[in-house]
Amino acid sequence: MADAQQNPPGPGREEERFLLIDRISKRFDQVEVLSELSLRIPAGRFTTLVGPSGAGKTTLIRILAGLLAPDEGLIHLNGRELTRLTPQSRRMAVVSSRPNLFPSMTVRGNLSFSARVGRKKGEPGADLIELTRVAGVAEHMDKYPDQLSEGQKQRVTVIRAVVNRPDALLLDDPFNHLDAVTRLNLRTQLAPLLRDLNIPILFVTGDQEEAFEQGEQIAVMLHGRIEQVGAPFEVYNHPANQGVAAFLGTANLLLGRWDGTHVRLGPLALDLPETFPPLEPNQLVKIAFRAEDVVLGYQPHFYNAAHQLGNAVVETTHDLGPLQRLVVRLTSAVAVSQKSRVGERLLLVDETFPEGFSLTIMRTKWDAAETPLDPGDSVAVGLKDYRVMPHYPLIGRE
């Protein structure tokens, strides 16, 4: 969880340049949209805020930009409290998913106007030529917005937002309406330019691939709360709770019970992984693992898997371009033979589904081409690793 309980420092030193969201809450009527949300956004790198629709991401952006007042909490930028300041006084730039350009002005006119309006007294003008060159719009300076593609419009919108050197940048799903190729090109092209501004950047998205690609720090937001903050590898491979595990990537979640020595899954007992949270005897737990953590019996590393789960029947297959997604159902709770070299491992069985349970598996297109599997085929299933966490019902999920 982000460090938001400290007293915000005064302005001045380089290391104190950050945007601090301190226990922000917001309600509409009786519905709590944001609940004591805290997050620290350092300068010079992307902090990505990712969450499902309805999590409260846009509400948070509106509060940070000064377009909406919080019910509780504070906002500090570089040591200056700005919770009740007007949008113009905050020195923050906001880019949304739709281009925001004056249709009667050329690209040059749009950028020059923003530079004149936003420039501090005595501050030299921004180097428009360099910004437009880096962003790839220099050759479009004399065009009007209706002569630009959607991707070109959004490039200009981003430059317009930063041309007067704001103190922070808020990107509210800025590439949401663009096609996948254009989104990738814009992210690749604009990210170095924005990092060079050396200001706090909050990049809001519902696209997980975009979040992991852009964010040096990722904040996962669910139901109006920040559930976990960390580096991409950390939040993906070590989710703080089952909500984060279920939202990020493709997670298999199995219900079991901790008996004080083993995780019980139906009649079976499973050793704990190397790291696990404090657990009370007889406590319900969730076992979580990713689709890519599952291995199949024909694969060379199957016998090196930490756990052998037994035989399964393929239920569905879906080709996703570079990957194939399989859904398989384990059919029996049989210990693996000693000849498999991992015979001491026991089968995972969800105690709520004694007839077996479905798992989602990912494999590469090359793997799928070399060993085709169709619905009804049988295959042995193993597991590389898993994570155990306390089980708490998820609002809206269970």
Could you give the count of Cα atoms lying within 13 Å of 276 in the half-sphere of its Cβ?
23
Q: What would the pLDDT profile of 246-265 be if each residue is shown by its tens digit?
A: 888 877 888 888 888 877 76
Q: What would the pLDDT profile of 13-23 be if each residue is shown by its tens digit?
A: 545 789 999 99
The CATH number that applies at residue 380 is 2.40.50.100
Whether the pLDDT of residue 335 is over 70: the answer is no
Are 262 and 248 in contact by the 8 Å Cβ rule? The answer is: no
The CATH number that applies at residue 164 is 3.40.50.300
Whether the pLDDT of residue 7 is over 60: the answer is no
Pair (303, 230) in one structural domain: no
For position 333, what pLDDT does the model report?
Answer: 47
Pair (237, 267) in one structural domain: no
Q: Give the residue numbers spanning the domain of 271.
A: 250-389
Which pLDDT band, with edges at 50, 70 and 90, does 266 fall under? low
Q: What would the pLDDT profile of 121-140 be if each residue is shown by its tens digit?
A: 434 344 667 777 777 888 89
Whether the pLDDT of residue 341 is over 60: the answer is no
What is the share, in percent, of the chain residues with pLDDT greater than 90? 37
Pair (297, 328) in one structural domain: yes
Q: Which two tokens stand for residue 170?
A: 């808020």
Which helix (DSSP H) or strand (DSSP E) does residue 380 occupy? strand 378-383
Q: What Cα–Cα distance (Å) separates residue 162 from each residue in 104, 185, 310, 370?
A: 21, 19, 56, 50
d(CA 162, CA 131): 9
Are 216 and 201 in contact by the 8 Å Cβ rule? The answer is: no
Q: What would the pLDDT profile of 81-127 be if each residue is shown by its tens digit?
A: 999 999 989 999 999 988 889 999 999 888 887 766 555 443 434 46
Q: Mean pLDDT, to the nearest integer, of 371-375? A: 93
Domain count, the chain: 2
d(CA 7, CA 263): 42
Which pLDDT band, with edges at 50, 70 and 90, does 145 fall under? very high
Lowest mean pLDDT among 41-50, 191-200, 232-241, 268-277: 268-277
Q: Is residue 4 part of a domain?
A: no
Domain boundary among 245, 274, 303: 245
d(CA 196, CA 40): 19
Whether the pLDDT of residue 79 is over 80: the answer is yes
Q: Which two tokens stand for residue 96?
A: 């949304």
Torsions phi, psi of 210, nearest 5? -65, -40
For position 260, what pLDDT does the model report?
Answer: 83
Q: Which two tokens stand for residue 333?
A: 């709770």
Pair (331, 363) in one structural domain: yes
Pair (273, 382) in one structural domain: yes
For position 116, what pLDDT does the model report?
Answer: 60
DSSP 139: G
Q: Is residue 150 part of a domain?
A: yes
For residue 295, give the amino acid letter.
Answer: V
pLDDT higher for 185 or 352? 185
Domain boundary among 227, 245, 263: 245
